Amino acid sequence: MENDKTLRNWLTEMNLDHPLVIAGPCSAETEEQVLHIAHQLKDSDATVMRAGIWKPRTRPGNFEGVGAIGLEWLKKAKKETGLMIATEVANKTHVDLALKADVDVLWIGARSTVSPFIVQEIADALQGTDKIVLVKNPVNPDLALWLGGVERLYAANIKNLGVIHRGFSTYEKIKYRNNPEWQIAIDLQNRFPDLPILVDPSHIAGARNLIFDICQTALDLNYDGMIVETHHTPDKAWSDAAQQITPEFLKQMTIDLRIRKKHGAGEFNEKLNVLRSKIDVIDNQIIDFLGKRMGVADEIGELKKENNVAILQPERWNNVLNKLTLKGEKNQLSKDFVERLTKAIHEESIAHQHKIISQY
Ligand SMILES: C=C(O[C@@H]1C=C(C(=O)O)C=C[C@H]1O)C(=O)O
């Protein structure tokens, strides 16, 4: 699959003067709940109403969705409000039922994207559809697997495609439910600049107080819109209570979010060019310096080879790491960044020495 301007057609045809908003409850719970939320969303920026009907839960015993009856409620919501409707599909049966109910947007969840068998089954069931199909990132940070999902749908002649970034599962304790790993989504945008990308701040955050900032970050990274879990009484929601926001909150959020221009003009560009030349000079210096550092590591490698000494020297390495972290703090660099950078340099240094030592 190649990038192609027509990938954006479905979004362009919506003719929105703001980012695309898909909103609605994590799960459809009752007919009244679906209709109540739909009417609240009617005069918001939301174009599409979402609701989970079949809910993949991490552990059994939790509410697993109302099933096909929820499609009837969504259909009613569409009829009464004019909103388009969206739900998650995870197998051929779901697809058949959703297509029969004329669901406008179908998404493939993170737990399905990890499985090429399931994605293929869904793609086959959707073959040639003109519905909009969105692929959430897989639970693990694997861009190829994410794109593989999109490519399976593309190969099934499904042209109205997009992706949803919901973050990646992690065992580490972080402030988010799912680690955003923004760089993976940036890489995806670089490969497919015309493939619409939406952020799912609800699943990245896991908590409603983080939703605004995540949406702002996504818009600053040129995302095309957001899919946000929205419930009239979030704390009483049957699933994902902590991360749902009210329709009122959503309306205020879409007013407050800053939408920046893709490009500037005139004096801005002149100033930007001056600053960018400064960055270019510094970037060149960084690479020259790194090259010099590796040259010294090579010399150390030769020395270790002659004296049959191990490459990895944990004491020295810890010393280097601590010194640079301290120095980084003085230069307003985050500890996390300096650590990642220093580890990358160390890895390259080890690789250089390994090459020298393994030459006979
Ligand atoms: C360069 C050396 O080899 C390794 C690489 C290091 C580095 O790049 O700073 C530090 C310690 C060693 O693990 C060394 O022993 O000093």
Sketch out the chain's domains with CATH numbers.
5-256 (3.20.20.70), 267-357 (1.20.59.10)
Element (H, E) at 69: helix 69-81
pLDDT at 61: 81
Residue with tokens 């009244």: 32
Q: Where are the alpha helices (DSSP H) in 158-224?
A: 182-191, 201-205, 211-220
Distance of CA 327 from the midpoint of ligand 1 (Å): 18
Rounded to a whole number of angstroms, the distance between the first and last alpha carbons of the chain is 45
Alpha-carbon distances of 230 from 48, 65, 235, 312, 336, rounded to whole Å = 12, 16, 11, 52, 33
Return the pLDDT at 189: 96
Distance 23 CA to ligand 1 centre (A): 52
> At 20, which helix (H) or strand (E)?
strand 20-24
Predicted-assembly ipTM surpassing the 0.95 threshold: yes
pLDDT at 173: 85
Express each pLDDT in 107-145 by its tens digit.
999 999 999 999 999 999 999 999 999 999 999 999 999
Q: How far apart are CA 331 and CA 328, in angstroms?
A: 5
Q: CA-to-CA distance for 30 and 24, rounded, in angstroms?
A: 13
Long-range contacts of 91-98 (CB under 8 A, 24+ apart): 91/118, 91/121, 91/122, 92/121, 92/122, 92/124, 92/125, 94/53, 94/54, 95/122, 95/125, 95/126, 96/125, 97/68, 97/71, 98/71
Ligand 1 pocket mutation, candidates 304, 349, 355, criterion most atoms within 8 A of CB: 349
Q: Are 194 and 130 in contact (CB under 8 A)?
A: no
Residue 63 CB less than 6 A away from ligand 1: no
Residue 173 carries which DSSP code? -
Place of tokens 């409603």: 208
Find out whether the beta carbon of 316 lies less than 6 Å from any atom of ligand 1: yes
346 lines ligand 1 (CB under 6 A): yes
Place of tokens 């490969």: 191
d(CA 268, CA 291): 34
Q: Which of 324, 345, 346, 357 to mutate to test the pocket of ligand 1 (most atoms within 8 A of CB)?
A: 346
Are 180 and 170 contacting, i.e. CB atoms less than 8 angstroms apart? no
Query: Ligand 1 center to residue 285 CA distance, Å?
Result: 22
Ligand 1 centroid – CA 280 distance (Å) = 29
Please indicate whether residue 294, judged by its CB atom, sits closer than 6 Å to ligand 1: no
Q: How far apart are CA 13 and CA 15, in angstroms?
A: 5
How far is 353 from 305, CA to CA, in rounded Å? Answer: 9
49 CA → ligand 1 middle, Å = 56
Residue type at 166?
A: R
Does 298 sit in the ligand 1 pocket, CB within 6 Å? no
Q: Which two tokens stand for residue 51?
A: 């609701």
18 in contact with ligand 1, CB cutoff 6 A: no
Task: Say yes or no: CB of residue 297 within 6 Å of ligand 1.
Answer: yes
Cβ of residue 210 lying under 6 Å from some atom of ligand 1: no
What does the pLDDT read at residue 62? 84
Length of the chain in residues, anyone? Answer: 360
Q: What's the pLDDT score for residue 324?
A: 97
The answer to whether the CB of 237 is under 6 A from ligand 1 is no
Parts of the chain with a pLDDT under 70: none
Q: Which residue has the tokens 């065992």?
A: 171
Tell me if 343 CB under 6 Å of ligand 1.
no
